Structure 1
Protein backbone atom coordinates (compact mmCIF):
# COMPACT_ATOMS: atom_id res chain seq x y z
CA UNK A 1 0.00 0.00 0.00
CA UNK A 2 1.35 3.41 -1.00
CA UNK A 3 0.73 6.47 1.16
CA UNK A 4 0.88 10.00 -0.28
CA UNK A 5 0.44 13.51 1.07
CA UNK A 6 -3.00 14.97 0.46
CA UNK A 7 -4.25 18.58 0.42
CA UNK A 8 -2.75 20.65 3.20
CA UNK A 9 -2.41 24.19 4.47
CA UNK A 10 -1.05 25.98 7.50
CA UNK A 11 -1.33 29.43 9.01
CA UNK A 12 -1.90 31.68 12.01
CA UNK A 13 -5.42 31.52 13.40
CA UNK A 14 -7.26 34.35 15.15
CA UNK A 15 -4.79 37.20 15.25
CA UNK A 16 -6.63 39.81 17.32
CA UNK A 17 -6.18 43.35 16.10
CA UNK A 18 -7.70 46.62 17.27
CA UNK A 19 -6.83 49.76 15.34
CA UNK A 20 -7.69 53.24 16.56
CA UNK A 21 -7.67 56.22 14.19
CA UNK A 22 -7.51 59.52 16.06
CA UNK A 23 -9.21 62.31 14.15
CA UNK A 24 -8.79 65.09 16.67
CA UNK A 25 -11.19 64.46 19.52
CA UNK A 26 -13.18 61.94 17.46
CA UNK A 27 -11.75 58.43 17.34
CA UNK A 28 -12.59 55.59 14.93
CA UNK A 29 -12.32 51.97 16.05
CA UNK A 30 -11.74 48.76 14.09
CA UNK A 31 -11.82 45.49 16.03
CA UNK A 32 -11.01 42.38 13.98
CA UNK A 33 -9.91 38.76 14.19
CA UNK A 34 -7.65 37.73 11.29
CA UNK A 35 -6.84 34.14 10.28
CA UNK A 36 -4.33 33.42 7.52
CA UNK A 37 -3.69 30.10 5.82
CA UNK A 38 -1.12 29.29 3.14
CA UNK A 39 -0.49 26.35 0.81
CA UNK A 40 1.96 25.52 -1.96
CA UNK A 41 5.21 23.57 -2.19
CA UNK A 42 4.88 21.98 1.23
CA UNK A 43 5.77 18.37 0.45
CA UNK A 44 9.21 18.36 2.06
CA UNK A 45 8.18 19.96 5.33
CA UNK A 46 5.67 17.14 5.79
CA UNK A 47 7.83 14.30 4.48
CA UNK A 48 11.28 15.22 5.80
CA UNK A 49 10.83 18.19 8.13
CA UNK A 50 12.66 20.58 5.77
CA UNK A 51 11.28 24.04 6.58
CA UNK A 52 12.86 25.89 3.64
CA UNK A 53 9.47 26.51 1.98
CA UNK A 54 7.66 27.58 5.14
CA UNK A 55 6.85 31.18 6.00
CA UNK A 56 6.47 31.00 9.81
CA UNK A 57 3.04 31.58 11.24
CA UNK A 58 4.60 34.16 13.56
CA UNK A 59 5.64 36.12 10.46
CA UNK A 60 2.07 35.96 9.21
CA UNK A 61 0.88 37.42 12.52
CA UNK A 62 3.46 40.22 12.37
CA UNK A 63 2.44 41.02 8.79
CA UNK A 64 -1.15 41.55 9.91
CA UNK A 65 -0.08 44.12 12.50
CA UNK A 66 2.39 45.85 10.21
CA UNK A 67 -0.10 46.11 7.35
CA UNK A 68 -2.69 47.62 9.71
CA UNK A 69 -0.21 50.41 10.42
CA UNK A 70 1.14 50.84 6.87
CA UNK A 71 -2.08 50.49 4.89
CA UNK A 72 -4.86 51.20 7.38
CA UNK A 73 -7.96 49.09 7.87
CA UNK A 74 -11.10 50.48 6.27
CA UNK A 75 -13.03 47.57 4.77
CA UNK A 76 -12.13 44.07 5.89
CA UNK A 77 -12.43 42.68 2.34
CA UNK A 78 -9.81 45.11 1.04
CA UNK A 79 -7.48 44.31 3.93
CA UNK A 80 -7.86 40.56 3.35
CA UNK A 81 -7.14 40.96 -0.36
CA UNK A 82 -4.01 42.97 0.43
CA UNK A 83 -2.70 40.34 2.83
CA UNK A 84 -3.48 37.39 0.56
CA UNK A 85 -1.81 38.95 -2.46
CA UNK A 86 1.25 39.85 -0.37
CA UNK A 87 1.84 36.30 0.83
CA UNK A 88 1.49 34.78 -2.63
CA UNK A 89 3.35 37.48 -4.56
CA UNK A 90 6.37 37.71 -2.24
CA UNK A 91 7.00 34.02 -1.48
CA UNK A 92 7.79 31.70 -4.42
CA UNK A 93 6.81 28.56 -2.48
CA UNK A 94 3.35 29.92 -1.55
CA UNK A 95 0.80 29.28 -4.30
CA UNK A 96 -2.45 30.00 -2.51
CA UNK A 97 -3.49 32.21 0.39
CA UNK A 98 -6.71 32.11 2.37
CA UNK A 99 -7.54 35.04 4.65
CA UNK A 100 -10.60 35.10 6.87
CA UNK A 101 -11.57 38.13 8.95
CA UNK A 102 -14.26 38.69 11.56
CA UNK A 103 -15.13 42.26 12.51
CA UNK A 104 -16.74 43.07 15.86
CA UNK A 105 -18.90 46.15 15.64
CA UNK A 106 -18.74 49.08 18.06
CA UNK A 107 -20.93 52.15 18.27
CA UNK A 108 -19.70 55.51 19.50
CA UNK A 109 -21.61 56.84 22.47
CA UNK A 110 -23.55 60.06 21.75
CA UNK A 111 -21.46 63.19 22.21
CA UNK A 112 -18.45 61.10 23.20
CA UNK A 113 -15.64 61.14 20.69
CA UNK A 114 -13.65 58.30 22.22
CA UNK A 115 -16.20 56.16 24.11
CA UNK A 116 -17.79 53.12 22.52
CA UNK A 117 -20.27 50.33 23.28
CA UNK A 118 -20.29 46.94 21.60
CA UNK A 119 -23.05 47.01 18.98
CA UNK A 120 -24.85 43.75 19.80
CA UNK A 121 -23.64 40.24 19.01
CA UNK A 122 -23.58 40.54 15.23
CA UNK A 123 -20.24 39.92 13.51
CA UNK A 124 -19.26 41.03 10.02
CA UNK A 125 -17.17 38.47 8.10
CA UNK A 126 -15.17 38.00 4.95
CA UNK A 127 -13.21 35.21 3.31
CA UNK A 128 -10.65 35.83 0.55
CA UNK A 129 -8.77 33.34 -1.62
CA UNK A 130 -5.86 34.40 -3.84
CA UNK A 131 -3.95 32.11 -6.25
CA UNK A 132 -0.57 32.24 -7.94
CA UNK A 133 -2.34 32.96 -11.25
CA UNK A 134 -3.62 36.25 -9.80
CA UNK A 135 -7.22 35.14 -9.35
CA UNK A 136 -8.95 36.40 -6.23
CA UNK A 137 -12.33 35.43 -4.85
CA UNK A 138 -14.16 37.43 -2.19
CA UNK A 139 -16.93 36.16 0.07
CA UNK A 140 -18.53 38.74 2.37
CA UNK A 141 -20.89 37.89 5.16
CA UNK A 142 -22.24 38.18 8.67
CA UNK A 143 -23.06 35.90 11.57
CA UNK A 144 -25.14 36.05 14.73
CA UNK A 145 -27.69 38.41 13.17
CA UNK A 146 -30.51 37.59 15.63
CA UNK A 147 -34.02 38.19 14.27
CA UNK A 148 -37.53 37.27 15.40
CA UNK A 149 -41.07 37.44 14.05
CA UNK A 150 -43.67 37.18 16.84
CA UNK A 151 -46.35 36.10 14.33
CA UNK A 152 -46.68 35.50 10.60
CA UNK A 153 -45.13 32.03 10.77
CA UNK A 154 -46.73 28.59 10.41
CA UNK A 155 -45.53 25.00 10.31
CA UNK A 156 -47.83 22.16 9.28
CA UNK A 157 -48.28 19.46 6.66
CA UNK A 158 -44.99 17.77 7.58
CA UNK A 159 -44.18 14.07 7.60
CA UNK A 160 -45.30 12.18 10.69
CA UNK A 161 -44.48 8.76 12.04
CA UNK A 162 -44.69 6.86 15.31
CA UNK A 163 -42.14 9.15 16.94
CA UNK A 164 -43.75 12.46 15.97
CA UNK A 165 -45.08 14.53 18.85
CA UNK A 166 -44.81 18.02 17.33
CA UNK A 167 -48.21 19.57 16.74
CA UNK A 168 -48.95 21.52 13.54
CA UNK A 169 -49.38 25.24 14.06
CA UNK A 170 -50.68 28.18 12.07
CA UNK A 171 -49.20 30.81 14.38
CA UNK A 172 -45.79 30.54 15.96
CA UNK A 173 -42.76 32.62 16.90
CA UNK A 174 -40.01 32.36 14.27
CA UNK A 175 -36.54 33.26 15.53
CA UNK A 176 -33.04 32.57 14.25
CA UNK A 177 -29.44 33.75 14.36
CA UNK A 178 -28.48 34.22 10.71
CA UNK A 179 -25.11 33.26 9.34
CA UNK A 180 -24.94 34.38 5.71
CA UNK A 181 -22.02 34.45 3.27
CA UNK A 182 -22.26 35.88 -0.22
CA UNK A 183 -19.89 35.58 -3.15
CA UNK A 184 -19.13 38.52 -5.39
CA UNK A 185 -19.15 37.90 -9.14
CA UNK A 186 -17.34 41.21 -9.44
CA UNK A 187 -16.01 43.48 -6.72
CA UNK A 188 -18.16 46.45 -5.72
CA UNK A 189 -16.77 49.95 -5.76
CA UNK A 190 -16.98 49.95 -1.96
CA UNK A 191 -17.57 46.87 0.17
CA UNK A 192 -19.12 48.91 2.97
CA UNK A 193 -22.29 50.08 1.19
CA UNK A 194 -22.54 46.69 -0.54
CA UNK A 195 -22.55 44.91 2.83
CA UNK A 196 -25.11 47.34 4.25
CA UNK A 197 -27.40 46.80 1.25
CA UNK A 198 -27.30 43.00 1.48
CA UNK A 199 -27.86 43.09 5.23
CA UNK A 200 -30.94 45.30 4.77
CA UNK A 201 -32.27 43.03 2.03
CA UNK A 202 -31.98 40.06 4.39
CA UNK A 203 -33.86 41.89 7.12
CA UNK A 204 -36.58 43.10 4.75
CA UNK A 205 -37.13 39.59 3.38
CA UNK A 206 -37.24 38.02 6.83
CA UNK A 207 -39.76 40.57 8.06
CA UNK A 208 -41.84 40.59 4.88
CA UNK A 209 -42.22 36.86 4.30
CA UNK A 210 -45.25 35.04 5.71
CA UNK A 211 -43.38 31.89 6.55
CA UNK A 212 -44.65 28.34 6.16
CA UNK A 213 -41.18 27.03 7.03
CA UNK A 214 -37.75 28.41 7.88
CA UNK A 215 -36.56 26.91 4.58
CA UNK A 216 -39.03 29.10 2.70
CA UNK A 217 -37.77 32.15 4.59
CA UNK A 218 -34.16 31.22 3.82
CA UNK A 219 -34.90 31.12 0.09
CA UNK A 220 -36.81 34.40 0.20
CA UNK A 221 -33.87 36.08 1.93
CA UNK A 222 -31.41 34.72 -0.61
CA UNK A 223 -33.57 35.71 -3.55
CA UNK A 224 -33.93 39.26 -2.22
CA UNK A 225 -30.17 39.60 -1.72
CA UNK A 226 -29.33 38.35 -5.22
CA UNK A 227 -31.93 40.47 -7.00
CA UNK A 228 -31.61 43.56 -4.82
CA UNK A 229 -28.49 44.84 -6.52
CA UNK A 230 -25.68 43.93 -8.91
CA UNK A 231 -22.57 41.94 -8.22
CA UNK A 232 -23.62 38.88 -6.21
CA UNK A 233 -23.78 35.40 -7.69
CA UNK A 234 -24.37 33.12 -4.67
CA UNK A 235 -25.35 33.32 -1.01
CA UNK A 236 -25.19 30.57 1.61
CA UNK A 237 -27.01 30.37 4.92
CA UNK A 238 -26.90 28.55 8.22
CA UNK A 239 -29.98 29.37 10.28
CA UNK A 240 -30.72 27.64 13.59
CA UNK A 241 -34.38 27.53 14.50
CA UNK A 242 -34.52 29.16 17.92
CA UNK A 243 -37.62 27.39 19.17
CA UNK A 244 -40.17 29.20 21.33
CA UNK A 245 -42.62 26.84 23.03
CA UNK A 246 -45.88 27.92 24.63
CA UNK A 247 -45.85 27.34 28.38
CA UNK A 248 -48.75 25.29 29.73
CA UNK A 249 -50.38 27.58 32.29
CA UNK A 250 -53.50 25.43 32.75
CA UNK A 251 -52.24 23.99 36.07
CA UNK A 252 -52.42 27.54 37.42
CA UNK A 253 -55.90 28.17 36.07
CA UNK A 254 -54.55 30.55 33.40
CA UNK A 255 -55.05 30.71 29.64
CA UNK A 256 -52.05 31.20 27.37
CA UNK A 257 -53.18 32.82 24.14
CA UNK A 258 -49.76 32.95 22.44
CA UNK A 259 -48.34 35.20 25.14
CA UNK A 260 -45.93 33.30 27.39
CA UNK A 261 -43.16 31.21 25.82
CA UNK A 262 -40.18 29.15 26.88
CA UNK A 263 -37.18 30.05 24.70
CA UNK A 264 -35.24 26.81 24.26
CA UNK A 265 -31.55 27.01 23.43
CA UNK A 266 -31.02 23.33 22.54
CA UNK A 267 -31.57 21.05 20.83
CA UNK A 268 -32.48 23.15 17.81
CA UNK A 269 -33.28 22.65 14.17
CA UNK A 270 -30.49 23.80 11.86
CA UNK A 271 -31.50 24.90 8.37
CA UNK A 272 -28.73 25.31 5.78
CA UNK A 273 -28.89 26.12 2.10
CA UNK A 274 -27.62 28.19 -0.77
CA UNK A 275 -29.31 30.38 -3.36
CA UNK A 276 -27.46 31.22 -6.55
CA UNK A 277 -27.90 32.69 -9.97
CA UNK A 278 -28.27 30.14 -12.74
CA UNK A 279 -25.20 31.56 -14.46
CA UNK A 280 -23.07 31.72 -11.31
CA UNK A 281 -19.46 30.73 -12.06
CA UNK A 282 -17.92 27.89 -10.08
CA UNK A 283 -16.30 29.19 -6.92
CA UNK A 284 -13.21 27.08 -7.48
CA UNK A 285 -12.57 26.69 -3.73
CA UNK A 286 -14.10 25.31 -0.56
CA UNK A 287 -16.07 27.89 1.43
CA UNK A 288 -14.96 26.47 4.75
Structure 2
Protein backbone atom coordinates (compact mmCIF):
# COMPACT_ATOMS: atom_id res chain seq x y z
CA UNK A 1 0.00 0.00 0.00
CA UNK A 2 1.32 3.44 -0.91
CA UNK A 3 1.78 6.39 1.41
CA UNK A 4 -0.34 9.47 1.85
CA UNK A 5 0.07 13.11 0.97
CA UNK A 6 -1.77 16.31 1.74
CA UNK A 7 -4.04 17.48 -1.05
CA UNK A 8 -5.62 20.85 -1.75
CA UNK A 9 -6.65 22.67 1.39
CA UNK A 10 -7.95 26.02 2.53
CA UNK A 11 -9.43 27.63 5.60
CA UNK A 12 -11.12 30.84 6.63
CA UNK A 13 -13.87 32.62 8.53
CA UNK A 14 -17.35 31.99 7.19
CA UNK A 15 -20.21 34.49 7.28
CA UNK A 16 -18.93 37.43 9.27
CA UNK A 17 -21.98 39.66 9.60
CA UNK A 18 -21.20 43.33 9.20
CA UNK A 19 -23.58 46.29 9.23
CA UNK A 20 -22.21 49.78 8.71
CA UNK A 21 -24.31 52.90 9.12
CA UNK A 22 -23.09 56.02 7.32
CA UNK A 23 -24.59 59.14 8.89
CA UNK A 24 -24.96 62.37 6.98
CA UNK A 25 -26.90 64.48 9.43
CA UNK A 26 -30.41 63.07 9.65
CA UNK A 27 -29.95 61.03 6.46
CA UNK A 28 -28.42 57.60 7.01
CA UNK A 29 -27.29 54.82 4.67
CA UNK A 30 -26.98 51.12 5.48
CA UNK A 31 -24.38 48.66 4.20
CA UNK A 32 -25.42 45.17 5.31
CA UNK A 33 -22.89 42.43 4.48
CA UNK A 34 -22.14 38.77 5.00
CA UNK A 35 -18.38 38.29 4.46
CA UNK A 36 -16.53 34.97 4.05
CA UNK A 37 -12.74 34.92 3.92
CA UNK A 38 -10.78 31.93 2.61
CA UNK A 39 -7.00 31.52 2.64
CA UNK A 40 -4.63 28.95 1.11
CA UNK A 41 -0.90 28.51 0.78
CA UNK A 42 2.03 26.78 2.48
CA UNK A 43 -0.02 25.21 5.24
CA UNK A 44 1.33 21.65 5.30
CA UNK A 45 2.96 22.15 8.71
CA UNK A 46 -0.28 22.75 10.56
CA UNK A 47 -1.94 19.73 8.91
CA UNK A 48 0.96 17.34 9.41
CA UNK A 49 2.51 18.42 12.70
CA UNK A 50 0.19 20.96 14.29
CA UNK A 51 2.71 23.78 13.76
CA UNK A 52 0.50 26.89 13.55
CA UNK A 53 3.26 29.44 12.89
CA UNK A 54 1.87 30.18 9.43
CA UNK A 55 -1.83 30.06 10.28
CA UNK A 56 -3.50 33.47 10.47
CA UNK A 57 -6.33 32.83 12.95
CA UNK A 58 -9.83 32.94 11.57
CA UNK A 59 -10.69 35.27 14.43
CA UNK A 60 -8.06 37.67 13.09
CA UNK A 61 -9.69 37.46 9.68
CA UNK A 62 -13.03 38.42 11.22
CA UNK A 63 -11.47 41.33 13.09
CA UNK A 64 -9.77 42.54 9.91
CA UNK A 65 -13.16 42.75 8.19
CA UNK A 66 -14.50 44.95 10.97
CA UNK A 67 -11.37 47.10 11.16
CA UNK A 68 -11.34 47.73 7.41
CA UNK A 69 -15.01 48.72 7.58
CA UNK A 70 -14.12 51.53 10.00
CA UNK A 71 -12.60 53.41 7.05
CA UNK A 72 -15.73 52.81 5.00
CA UNK A 73 -16.93 49.97 2.82
CA UNK A 74 -17.83 51.60 -0.47
CA UNK A 75 -18.58 49.22 -3.32
CA UNK A 76 -18.34 45.60 -2.19
CA UNK A 77 -15.96 44.73 -5.04
CA UNK A 78 -13.47 47.32 -3.83
CA UNK A 79 -13.88 46.20 -0.21
CA UNK A 80 -13.23 42.57 -1.19
CA UNK A 81 -10.14 43.56 -3.20
CA UNK A 82 -8.75 45.51 -0.25
CA UNK A 83 -9.13 42.45 1.97
CA UNK A 84 -7.62 39.84 -0.36
CA UNK A 85 -4.62 42.01 -1.15
CA UNK A 86 -4.08 42.56 2.56
CA UNK A 87 -4.17 38.85 3.42
CA UNK A 88 -1.64 37.79 0.76
CA UNK A 89 0.82 40.53 1.68
CA UNK A 90 0.81 40.27 5.49
CA UNK A 91 1.31 36.54 6.15
CA UNK A 92 4.18 34.90 4.27
CA UNK A 93 2.60 31.45 4.13
CA UNK A 94 -0.64 32.72 2.58
CA UNK A 95 -0.36 32.57 -1.22
CA UNK A 96 -3.99 32.97 -2.22
CA UNK A 97 -6.93 34.75 -0.65
CA UNK A 98 -10.57 34.81 -1.60
CA UNK A 99 -13.28 37.00 -0.13
CA UNK A 100 -16.94 36.45 -0.92
CA UNK A 101 -19.46 39.10 0.07
CA UNK A 102 -23.23 39.05 0.06
CA UNK A 103 -24.86 42.46 0.31
CA UNK A 104 -28.45 42.61 1.50
CA UNK A 105 -30.53 45.34 -0.07
CA UNK A 106 -32.31 47.93 2.04
CA UNK A 107 -34.68 50.44 0.43
CA UNK A 108 -35.31 53.75 2.14
CA UNK A 109 -38.85 54.27 3.36
CA UNK A 110 -40.17 57.53 1.93
CA UNK A 111 -40.07 60.71 4.01
CA UNK A 112 -37.53 59.42 6.52
CA UNK A 113 -33.77 59.46 6.64
CA UNK A 114 -33.37 56.50 8.95
CA UNK A 115 -36.09 53.93 8.13
CA UNK A 116 -35.61 51.07 5.66
CA UNK A 117 -37.33 47.99 4.25
CA UNK A 118 -35.51 44.91 3.00
CA UNK A 119 -35.26 44.97 -0.80
CA UNK A 120 -35.36 42.20 -3.41
CA UNK A 121 -32.35 40.11 -4.31
CA UNK A 122 -28.87 39.91 -2.81
CA UNK A 123 -25.89 41.54 -4.48
CA UNK A 124 -22.74 39.38 -4.38
CA UNK A 125 -19.07 39.53 -5.20
CA UNK A 126 -16.02 37.30 -4.94
CA UNK A 127 -12.51 38.75 -5.17
CA UNK A 128 -9.45 36.50 -5.42
CA UNK A 129 -5.75 37.40 -5.24
CA UNK A 130 -2.78 35.07 -5.72
CA UNK A 131 -0.13 37.65 -4.91
CA UNK A 132 0.52 38.56 -8.53
CA UNK A 133 -2.92 39.15 -9.98
CA UNK A 134 -6.46 39.66 -8.77
CA UNK A 135 -9.84 39.07 -10.35
CA UNK A 136 -13.43 39.89 -9.48
CA UNK A 137 -16.74 38.14 -9.97
CA UNK A 138 -19.96 40.05 -9.28
CA UNK A 139 -23.49 38.79 -9.18
CA UNK A 140 -26.93 38.57 -7.70
CA UNK A 141 -28.68 35.82 -5.74
CA UNK A 142 -32.26 34.99 -4.82
CA UNK A 143 -33.73 37.38 -7.38
CA UNK A 144 -37.24 35.95 -7.69
CA UNK A 145 -38.97 36.55 -11.04
CA UNK A 146 -42.15 35.23 -12.65
CA UNK A 147 -43.89 35.31 -16.02
CA UNK A 148 -47.60 34.48 -15.99
CA UNK A 149 -47.52 33.50 -19.66
CA UNK A 150 -45.10 33.31 -22.58
CA UNK A 151 -43.61 29.97 -21.51
CA UNK A 152 -43.93 26.49 -23.01
CA UNK A 153 -42.49 23.05 -22.41
CA UNK A 154 -43.16 20.23 -24.85
CA UNK A 155 -41.46 17.86 -27.26
CA UNK A 156 -39.50 16.10 -24.51
CA UNK A 157 -38.93 12.31 -24.55
CA UNK A 158 -41.42 10.10 -22.77
CA UNK A 159 -40.93 6.74 -21.12
CA UNK A 160 -42.90 4.51 -18.75
CA UNK A 161 -42.18 6.86 -15.85
CA UNK A 162 -43.20 10.11 -17.57
CA UNK A 163 -46.40 11.65 -16.27
CA UNK A 164 -45.70 15.34 -16.97
CA UNK A 165 -48.16 16.73 -19.53
CA UNK A 166 -46.90 18.91 -22.33
CA UNK A 167 -47.83 22.56 -22.07
CA UNK A 168 -47.91 25.47 -24.49
CA UNK A 169 -48.74 28.07 -21.86
CA UNK A 170 -47.48 27.95 -18.29
CA UNK A 171 -46.27 30.09 -15.44
CA UNK A 172 -42.48 30.36 -15.43
CA UNK A 173 -40.89 31.37 -12.13
CA UNK A 174 -37.37 31.13 -10.79
CA UNK A 175 -35.01 32.55 -8.18
CA UNK A 176 -32.03 33.78 -10.19
CA UNK A 177 -28.47 33.25 -9.04
CA UNK A 178 -26.07 34.81 -11.56
CA UNK A 179 -22.34 35.52 -11.38
CA UNK A 180 -20.40 37.47 -14.00
CA UNK A 181 -16.61 37.73 -14.27
CA UNK A 182 -14.92 41.04 -15.00
CA UNK A 183 -11.84 41.40 -17.18
CA UNK A 184 -10.56 44.33 -15.11
CA UNK A 185 -10.43 45.21 -11.42
CA UNK A 186 -10.96 48.96 -11.65
CA UNK A 187 -14.34 50.19 -12.85
CA UNK A 188 -17.63 51.70 -11.78
CA UNK A 189 -18.90 48.65 -9.89
CA UNK A 190 -22.29 50.10 -9.01
CA UNK A 191 -23.04 51.02 -12.62
CA UNK A 192 -21.86 47.64 -13.88
CA UNK A 193 -24.03 45.81 -11.36
CA UNK A 194 -27.12 47.88 -12.07
CA UNK A 195 -26.72 47.35 -15.81
CA UNK A 196 -26.21 43.59 -15.55
CA UNK A 197 -29.16 43.17 -13.19
CA UNK A 198 -31.41 45.23 -15.46
CA UNK A 199 -30.41 43.18 -18.51
CA UNK A 200 -31.09 39.93 -16.64
CA UNK A 201 -34.61 41.08 -15.81
CA UNK A 202 -35.30 42.46 -19.29
CA UNK A 203 -34.15 39.24 -20.95
CA UNK A 204 -36.33 37.14 -18.65
CA UNK A 205 -39.34 39.34 -19.37
CA UNK A 206 -39.10 39.54 -23.16
CA UNK A 207 -37.92 35.99 -23.99
CA UNK A 208 -40.70 33.69 -25.15
CA UNK A 209 -39.49 30.58 -23.38
CA UNK A 210 -39.71 27.07 -24.78
CA UNK A 211 -37.50 25.80 -21.96
CA UNK A 212 -35.86 27.28 -18.92
CA UNK A 213 -32.53 26.36 -20.54
CA UNK A 214 -33.36 28.65 -23.45
CA UNK A 215 -34.24 31.44 -21.04
CA UNK A 216 -30.97 30.93 -19.15
CA UNK A 217 -28.94 31.30 -22.34
CA UNK A 218 -30.87 34.39 -23.40
CA UNK A 219 -30.26 35.99 -20.01
CA UNK A 220 -26.55 35.18 -20.11
CA UNK A 221 -26.14 36.56 -23.63
CA UNK A 222 -27.94 39.76 -22.70
CA UNK A 223 -25.68 40.34 -19.70
CA UNK A 224 -22.54 40.03 -21.86
CA UNK A 225 -23.90 42.03 -24.80
CA UNK A 226 -24.29 45.14 -22.68
CA UNK A 227 -20.82 45.25 -21.10
CA UNK A 228 -17.57 44.64 -22.99
CA UNK A 229 -15.65 44.16 -19.73
CA UNK A 230 -17.63 41.03 -18.80
CA UNK A 231 -16.07 37.74 -19.90
CA UNK A 232 -18.59 35.11 -18.84
CA UNK A 233 -21.69 34.65 -16.75
CA UNK A 234 -22.83 31.61 -14.82
CA UNK A 235 -26.46 31.13 -13.90
CA UNK A 236 -28.45 28.79 -11.68
CA UNK A 237 -32.22 28.85 -12.20
CA UNK A 238 -34.40 26.65 -9.99
CA UNK A 239 -37.76 26.04 -11.62
CA UNK A 240 -40.33 27.26 -9.11
CA UNK A 241 -43.20 25.11 -10.30
CA UNK A 242 -46.79 26.34 -10.40
CA UNK A 243 -49.30 23.58 -11.06
CA UNK A 244 -52.84 24.21 -12.24
CA UNK A 245 -55.27 23.00 -9.58
CA UNK A 246 -57.97 20.57 -10.69
CA UNK A 247 -61.24 22.14 -9.53
CA UNK A 248 -63.46 19.66 -11.42
CA UNK A 249 -64.27 17.64 -8.24
CA UNK A 250 -65.96 20.80 -6.95
CA UNK A 251 -67.91 21.38 -10.15
CA UNK A 252 -65.70 24.31 -11.11
CA UNK A 253 -63.60 25.07 -14.14
CA UNK A 254 -60.10 26.55 -13.91
CA UNK A 255 -59.20 28.65 -16.95
CA UNK A 256 -55.60 29.20 -15.90
CA UNK A 257 -56.36 31.14 -12.75
CA UNK A 258 -55.77 28.96 -9.67
CA UNK A 259 -52.35 27.36 -9.10
CA UNK A 260 -50.48 25.42 -6.44
CA UNK A 261 -47.01 26.87 -5.88
CA UNK A 262 -44.75 23.91 -5.09
CA UNK A 263 -41.45 24.55 -3.32
CA UNK A 264 -39.86 21.08 -3.73
CA UNK A 265 -38.74 19.03 -5.45
CA UNK A 266 -37.78 21.42 -8.23
CA UNK A 267 -35.87 21.35 -11.47
CA UNK A 268 -32.49 23.08 -11.28
CA UNK A 269 -31.11 24.49 -14.52
CA UNK A 270 -27.48 25.64 -14.52
CA UNK A 271 -25.23 26.89 -17.29
CA UNK A 272 -22.46 29.23 -18.39
CA UNK A 273 -22.43 31.70 -21.26
CA UNK A 274 -19.01 33.04 -22.24
CA UNK A 275 -17.53 35.08 -25.04
CA UNK A 276 -16.36 32.76 -27.81
CA UNK A 277 -13.06 34.64 -28.16
CA UNK A 278 -12.31 34.70 -24.42
CA UNK A 279 -9.55 32.44 -23.10
CA UNK A 280 -10.51 29.79 -20.58
CA UNK A 281 -10.45 31.40 -17.16
CA UNK A 282 -8.70 28.51 -15.45
CA UNK A 283 -9.67 30.03 -12.13
CA UNK A 284 -10.47 27.28 -9.67
CA UNK A 285 -11.78 29.77 -7.16
CA UNK A 286 -14.14 31.80 -9.31
Q: Is the shorter-chain TM-score for this pair beyond 0.5, marking a shared fold?
A: yes
Q: How many residues are matched?
A: 285
Inter-partner Cα distance in structure 2 for 1:163 and 1:111: 57
> C-alpha offsets along residues 29-79 of structure 1, whole Å, 9 cap, x if unaligned?
100000001111101000000001111111100000000002x11111100
The answer on whether the counterparts of 2:98 and 2:285 sit within 8 Å (CA) in structure 1 is no
- TM superposition shift of 1:284: 2.8
Deviation at 1:270, TM superposition (A): 0.4
User: Who is 1:168 aligned against?
Assistant: 166
CA separation in 2, counterparts of 1:154 and 1:48?
A: 59
Aligned counterpart, 1:104: 104
Secondary structure in 1 aligned to 2:138?
strand
Residue of 171, 174, 186 corresponding to 2:184: 186
Counterpart for residue 31 of structure 1: 32
CA distance in structure 2 between the aligned counterparts of 1:117 and 1:89, rounded to whole angstroms: 39
CA distance in 1 between counterparts of 2:186 and 2:161 reads: 50
Determine the C-alpha separation between the residues in 2 that align with 1:103 and 1:185: 22
TM-score normalised by L of structure 2: 0.98
1:226 alignment partner in structure 2: 224
Matched with 1:57 is 58
* Matching of residues 91-170 of structure 1 within 5 Å: 91-120=91-120, 122-133=121-132, 135-170=133-168
Segments of 5+ residues of structure 1 without an aligned counterpart are none
2:254 alignment counterpart: 256
Q: TM-score, normalised by structure 1?
A: 0.97
Q: C-alpha offsets along residues 70-124 of structure 1, whole Å, 9 cap, x if unaligned?
A: 2x1111110000000000012111100010000001011111101111113x111
